[in-house]
Amino acid sequence: MSEARLIDGKAFAVDLRARVREGVAGLVAGKGVKPGLATVLVGADPASQVYVRSKGKAAAELGMVSFDHRLPEETTEAELLQLVATLNQDPRIHGILVQLPLPKHIHTERVLLAIHPDKDVDGFHPINVGRLGSIASGAPLDFPVPCTPLGCSMLLADALGALGGKTAVVVGRSTLVGRPVAQLLLRADCTVTIAHSRTRDLPALCRGADILVAAIGKPELVRGDWIKPGAAVVDVGINRIPDGGGKTKLVGDVAFEEALQVAGHLTPVPGGVGPMTVACLMYNTLQEARRKVGLPFAAI
What's the CA gap between 242 and 264, in Å, rounded? 29
| Closest to 144 (Cα-Cα) out of 116, 186, 111 | 116
Q: 202, 209, 255, 282: which one contacts ligand NAP (CB under 6 A)?
A: 202
270: Cβ contacts below 8 Å, ≥ 6 apart:
238, 250
Q: Which residue among 41, 80, 132, 273 contacts ligand NAP (CB under 6 A)? A: 273
Stretch that binds ligand NAP, among 74-82, 174-182, 241-249, 285-293 (CB under 6 A): 174-182
Are 169 and 213 in contact by the 8 Å Cβ rule? The answer is yes
Residue 10 appears among annotated catalytic residues: no
**Active-site choice (122, 210, 235, 253):** 122
Q: Give the nearest residue (CB) to ligand NAP.
A: 174
Give the span between the Cα atoms of 51 and 172, in whole angstroms: 23
Q: Is 54 in the site for ligand NAP (CB under 6 A)?
A: no
Q: Minimal distance in Å, beta carbon 215 to ligand NAP?
A: 4
Greatest extent of the chain over all pairs of C-alpha atoms, in Å: 59
Residues 225-244 that bind ligand NAP (CB under 6 A): 236-239
Which of 103, 217, 224, 271 contacts ligand NAP by CB under 6 A? 217
Question: Which helix (H) or strand (E) segment is 274 a member of?
Answer: helix 274-292
Phi, psi of 11 (to 5 degrees): -65, -40
Candidate list 19, 21, 31, 218; residue touching ligand NAP; CB under 6 A: 218
Q: Give the footprint of ligand NAP on this chain (CB under 6 A).
A: 148, 171-174, 176-178, 195-199, 202, 215-218, 221, 236-239, 273-274, 277
- Please give the positions annotated as active site: 55, 99, 122
